């Protein structure tokens, strides 16, 4: 427990109980509206991270519009061009997360946070003004850089809250920030409808104007973050001048310490098996529900968003479990809980794939050359379609690419947007009903799939919260570097997970991914803390994961000492006396 009524170096009383370094020792429902630097930091970090998640996934929510042919108001992008842009955006985020760690240690998480928020805005402008694949891709890459605010969110909260509750705080801030990925799937289509009404259904103008919303969100969150503090008592510079904080040893020195810790490398890998999986699922679930269950995007979008919406509470559960296990069993409890939850995550990923793997999917062998009857569109109206010469798999819910025209109930109609793999919205799905009884979308498995997906999602996000209940303990002198390493591992995991699920059969991919999660999580048995131990390694095991040791007396960027100040400074006690 911390002390109540403690004052900062300016003589202002903290509203929350704090420890000797003025980090809050309490954070919960009763403190959420408390005034002061601690809760300001919590909410500013949460909102800032939420905004970047919202903006980074906003282009995906608008894909049906900018991906349409030029004559329909889009950019006429191919599926490959859109997919490559998304992959490059994630790759840029990996590099930026690695760089953000040393920046936090050198300049402070607050200023790094503001920088990352502002750097995303030019990307949104480039995206909204794009007239081809090159500008579109560049815009996506720059927007993706701002997603590195996850690192600043976690570092900043770690610097303001005691390590006894840091698991809960980091998990809640990170989880509520991750909600932006689900919220944007729900809101951006509605925002698009508003701009369509304003512009008289001008699609080309409307999807571009939609990016005004994330731009405003970034500017707003940058302001509330900038007016905060680097540490509970003030800025890095002020505390260094007053002798309360050790000056930085340099980004290079801190980076060497962080990158030479084996615990950090193990958790870089394992974080990719939870956060990386979440990013992957955010991209895969909507296409999965479209293809396997034959839903239009207006239905598949909310179903897929349910995975991300579990962040509302699930990641916090992980943080709470981490702090609880720490009280009961110490660091070994935190690590063990992380391994158990992530292993269960892999089990549910496998179970989700097993729900549909035995039924015929859209890419199973077998074709119908005669597609003249028994076909209906995604609005539920049954049509008799003739003059179709293309072959489609018997359970296909994909678009017919050829011909671009067909006879529907005897009338010749044009089906724009089918060329070059472009997908219009709403998607005019062509679903084969004969023989439909063997196809996934006719097996009545949607409810079971959703149930497995929810359990899977809860475990994914609990594992994320459990990870950042341990990260602040790995290397205090290199807290930012380690946070950046682990965070970058999450984005790298997204690329690998996408390749695992990639290909044609989603459900087989889920099974393979689940096996990879279970196998990869076994590396957690190598995490070890001297004097604390690991899952099975005893606390006396003769090994130190910090291969390159920090200099004698080297402190972290958030370590402060209020017992004395630089010559000419004023001690905390003197401040309190003068105030009285």
| Residue entry with tokens 């990352």 | 116
Residue 477: name the closest of 543, 550, 552, 560 by CA.
550
Measured CA to CA, the distance from residue 510 to residue 433 in angstroms comes to 26
| Residues 305 and 185: beta-carbon distance below 8 Å | yes
Please report the pLDDT score of residue 393 as a whole number.
55
CA distances from 335 to 130, 205, 344, 482, 526 (A): 46, 51, 15, 17, 10
| Residues 104 and 48: beta-carbon distance below 8 Å | no
Query: What is the CB neighbour count within 10 angstroms for residue 529?
Result: 21
DSSP state of 554: -
Please report the pLDDT score of residue 491 as a whole number.
84
Please report the pLDDT score of residue 302 as a whole number.
86
Please report the pLDDT score of residue 399 as a whole number.
42
What's the first-to-final CA gap in the chain, in angstroms?
Answer: 26
Please report the pLDDT score of residue 378 as a whole number.
39
Three-state secondary-structure class, residue 439: strand
Please report the pLDDT score of residue 502 as a whole number.
63
Question: Which superfamily does CATH assign the domain made up of 42-238 to?
Answer: MFS general substrate transporter like domains (1.20.1250.20)
Token pair belonging to 158: 């770690």
Please report the pLDDT score of residue 525 as a whole number.
97
Residue 228: name the closest of 162, 169, 152, 163 by CA.
152
**CATH number 1.20.1250.20 is the correct assignment for the domain at 263-359+444-549:** yes
What is the radius of gyration, based on Cα positions, of the chain?
A: 26
Please report the pLDDT score of residue 556 as a whole number.
81
Token pair belonging to 492: 């790298």
| Residues 323 and 469: beta-carbon distance below 8 Å | yes
Residue numbers of the chain with a pLDDT score lower than 70: 1, 249-251, 296-297, 363-437, 502-504, 564-580
| Residues 407 and 415: beta-carbon distance below 8 Å | no
Measured CA to CA, the distance from residue 137 to residue 86 in angstroms comes to 8
Residue 417: name the closest of 434, 433, 432, 405 by CA.
405
Measured CA to CA, the distance from residue 324 to residue 313 in angstroms comes to 16
DSSP string, 488-536: HHHHHHHHHHHHHH-SS-HHHHHHHHHHHHHHHHGGGGG--BTTTB-SS
Helices of type H across 273-409 = 275-293, 297-309, 314-329, 331-357
Beta partners for 426? none
Domain ranges of the chain: 42-238, 263-359+444-549, 367-442
| Residues 61 and 191: beta-carbon distance below 8 Å | no
Please report the pLDDT score of residue 29 as a whole number.
83
Token pair belonging to 311: 């962040």
Please report the pLDDT score of residue 420 as a whole number.
43
């Amino acid at each position: 427990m911390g002390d109540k009524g403690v004052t900062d170096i300016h003589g202002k009383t903290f509203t929350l109980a704090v420890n000797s370094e003025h980090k809050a020792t309490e954070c919960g429902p009763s403190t959420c509206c408390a005034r002061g630097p601690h809760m300001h930091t919590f909410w500013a970090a949460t909102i800032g991270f939420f905004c970047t998640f919202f903006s980074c996934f906003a282009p995906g929510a608008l894909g049906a519009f900018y991906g349409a042919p030029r004559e329909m108001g889009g950019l006429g992008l191919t599926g490959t061009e859109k997919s490559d842009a998304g992959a490059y955006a994630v790759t840029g985020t990996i590099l930026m997360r690695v760089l953000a760690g040393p920046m936090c240690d050198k300049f402070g998480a607050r200023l790094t946070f503001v920088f990352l928020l502002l750097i995303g805005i030019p990307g949104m402008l480039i995206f909204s003004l794009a007239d081809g694949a090159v500008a579109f891709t560049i815009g996506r890459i720059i927007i993706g850089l701002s997603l590195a605010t996850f690192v600043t969110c976690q570092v900043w909260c770690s610097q303001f809250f005691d390590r006894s509750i840091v698991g809960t705080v980091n998990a809640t801030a990170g989880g509520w920030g991750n909600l932006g990925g689900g919220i944007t799937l729900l809101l951006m289509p509605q925002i698009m409808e508003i701009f369509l009404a304003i512009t008289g259904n001008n699609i080309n103008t409307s999807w571009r104007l939609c990016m005004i919303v994330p731009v405003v969100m970034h500017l707003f969150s940058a302001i509330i973050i900038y007016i905060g503090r680097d540490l509970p008592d003030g800025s890095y510079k002020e505390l260094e001048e007053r002798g309360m904080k050790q000056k930085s040893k340099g980004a290079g020195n801190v980076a060497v310490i962080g990158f030479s810790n084996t615990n950090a490398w193990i958790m870089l890998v394992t974080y990719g098996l939870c956060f990386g999986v979440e990013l992957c699922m955010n991209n895969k679930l909507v296409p999965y529900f479209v293809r396997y269950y034959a839903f239009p995007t207006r239905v598949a979008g909310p179903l897929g968003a349910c995975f991300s919406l579990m962040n509302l509470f699930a990641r916090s559960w992980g943080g709470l479990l981490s702090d609880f296990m720490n009280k009961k069993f110490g660091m070994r409890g935190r690590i063990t809980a992380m391994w158990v939850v992530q292993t269960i995550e892999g089990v549910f990923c496998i179970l989700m794939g097993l729900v549909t793997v035995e039924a015929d999917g859209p890419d199973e062998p077998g074709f119908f050359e005669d597609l003249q009857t028994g076909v209906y569109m995604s609005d539920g109206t049954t049509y008799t379609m003739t003059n179709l010469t293309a072959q489609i798999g018997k359970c296909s819910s994909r678009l017919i690419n050829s011909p671009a025209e067909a006879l529907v109930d005897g009338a010749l109609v044009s089906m724009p947007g089918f060329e070059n793999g472009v997908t219009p919205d709403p998607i005019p799905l062509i679903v084969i009903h004969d023989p439909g009884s063997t196809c996934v979308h006719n097996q009545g498995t949607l409810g079971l799939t959703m149930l497995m997906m929810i359990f899977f999602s809860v475990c994914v996000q609990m594992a994320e919260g459990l990870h950042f209940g341990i990260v602040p303990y790995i290397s205090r002198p290199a807290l930012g570097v380690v946070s950046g390493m682990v965070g970058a591992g999450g984005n790298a995991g997204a690329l690998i997970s996408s390749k695992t699920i990639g290909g044609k059969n989603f459900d087989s991919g889920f099974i393979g991914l689940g096996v990879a999660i279970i196998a990869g999580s076994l590396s957690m048995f190598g995490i070890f803390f001297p004097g604390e131990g690991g899952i099975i390694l005893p606390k006396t095991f003769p090994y130190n994961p910090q291969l390159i040791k920090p200099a004698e007396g080297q402190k972290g960027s958030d370590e402060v000492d209020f017992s004395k100040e630089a010559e000419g400074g004023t001690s905390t006690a003197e401040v309190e006396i003068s105030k009285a």
